[in-house]
Amino acid sequence: MAAKLYYFHDPMCSWCWGFAPTWQQLNQSLKNIVDIEYVLGGLAPDSNEPMPHYMQKTIRGYWEKIENLLGTRFNYNFWTECQPKRSTYPACRAVIAAKEQGKESEMIVAIQKAYYLGAMNPSELDTLVFLADYLKLNIESFKTSIVSERIDNELQRQIQVYRSLSFRGFPSLTLEIEEQSVPIEVDYQCSDLMYDKIISFVR
């Protein structure tokens, strides 16, 4: 049976960062069993405005909660060394542009590590170009793609796919098999239950 697992995410979603180790385990376990497709939900549209202080406090609070619950590492220097913006669409476009060069998952991980561990700001184009260079992408092609209408249209398409579904929030998983969509409950600490549920539909 042909099956596809959709992973709905945003590269600047802190809960996605908390889920990352378990997601990697699940991803590896499902290799050659189901196709996996990343879908960007887009947390926050383009903005050059500084993030309001109340929002900075709220998001920092999410980091602390995730750290306490899951043991996930965060570099809180981000809040003093960067000018935070509530804008994740640039990072989303970077993922799509990297996918065109065969490095979608690598860009997701690079953005997460730069943001949460390196106190870098993925809302800034310069940061994303730096990461593309680090991943040895064709930089000129990346620079052209990330600001192109084509990439933005693809982002908007993915966002509409996410919004058309009944669940809300990142990360989210759904299995599509024989024209049926099956929500898979996210377990942040162990991949076994997710794996077992997916396998029960596939085999």
**Domain assignment of residue 87, given as a range:** 3-202
Angle at 19 between CA 161 and CA 83, to 5 degrees: 80
Question: What pLDDT shows up at residue 166?
Answer: 72
Question: What pLDDT shows up at residue 84?
Answer: 97
User: pTM of the full predicted structure?
Assistant: 0.96
Q: What are phi and psi of 33, to 5 degrees?
A: -110, -50
Ranges of the chain whose pLDDT falls below 50: none
Angle at 39 between CA 90 and CA 84, to 5 degrees: 30
Q: What are the residues whose beta carbons fall under 8 Å from the beta carbon of 97, sequence distance 6 or more? A: 107, 132, 142, 145, 146, 151
| HSE-CB of 45 using CA atoms within 13 angstroms | 1
Q: What are phi and psi of 98, to 5 degrees?
A: -70, -35
Q: What are phi and psi of 47, to 5 degrees?
A: -160, 135
Q: What are the residues whose beta carbons fall under 8 Å from the beta carbon of 87, sequence distance 6 or more? A: 44, 45, 46, 47, 48, 123
Q: List the CATH number of the domain containing 10.
A: 3.40.30.10
Number of domains in the chain: 1
Question: What pLDDT shows up at residue 2?
Answer: 79
Question: What pLDDT shows up at residue 1?
Answer: 54
Question: What pLDDT shows up at residue 179?
Answer: 84
